Amino acid sequence: MPIVLKSKAEIVLMREAGRIVARVHEALREMIRPGVTTAELNVKADQIIRAHGAIPAFLGYPHTGKNDFPASICTSINEEIVHGIPSRKRWLEPGDIISIDVGSVYRGWVGDSAWTYAVDVIDDEGRRLMEATEGSLWAGIRQARVGKRLADISEAIETCVKQRGFAVVREYTGHGVGRKMHEEPQVLNYVPDKGGRGPRLQVGMTFALEPMVNVGTWRTRTLADGWTVVTADGKRSAHFEHTLAVTDGEPEILTVL
């Protein structure tokens, strides 16, 4: 499928979808403390998304051969990388790190952003993991300029992570976003040993950058629920994501207030 360039008017709608996502993150950040369940976070997120005239992008998202996604956000704790399912039986504990992935659909356009939060006080390794992952996201965003190649983003993310001694997940990637949650192009968080540098970036490209970074191996496995992706070695993972638009100047982050 070709990469779909967005008009200025379409990016305005994507920006509003992104602001709704940012409002959710703002509210959930204040809720994160020991004893709160991931189901409580999910209820609050759903309420905010709908109160702003949008619908949750993840609820009912189809999965080939498995059940559709049953919640409005993804909540992935510690060794869970992405797609964790909120539950009344899963509560936050001191020292946890939790990735909250939020998507909204506003007037047919998608906003998508994830952030990893510390629960109470976390150890030094967890703090360094979160800093490295967030840093790699910003490194990738800085490369999202007209004339750059897609692989310039991937290389910046991977370099930032490796310099800090962690591993980039390879089996899950960033992606184009617009009227659909997942569009072209696929945005790798690493540079393959073989392959080209990808297309040149153009004004109107919109995609979600989302480095997923592990303490140990980059390899993953999926739990029996068909959705929750965890590290193969059980060590912790962090996940940060913004939706952005390529402009004729600095990249515009769409998932902020």
Query: What digits encode the pLDDT tens for the residues 196-252?
Result: 789 999 999 999 999 999 999 999 999 999 999 999 999 999 999 999 999 999 999
- Rounded to two decimals, what is the model's pTM? 0.97
pLDDT single digits (tens) 13-54: 999 999 999 999 999 999 999 999 999 999 999 999 999 999
Mean pLDDT for 171-177 is: 98
Q: CA-CA distances (angstroms) from residue 177 to 104, 157, 206, 230?
A: 12, 19, 6, 24
Q: What is the DSSP letter of 215?
A: S
Domain ranges across the chain: 8-253
Bridge partner residues of 239 (DSSP): 212
Q: What share of the chain is helix, strand, coil (3-state, %, to 5)?
A: 30, 25, 45
Fold assignment, 8-253: Creatine Amidinohydrolase (3.90.230)
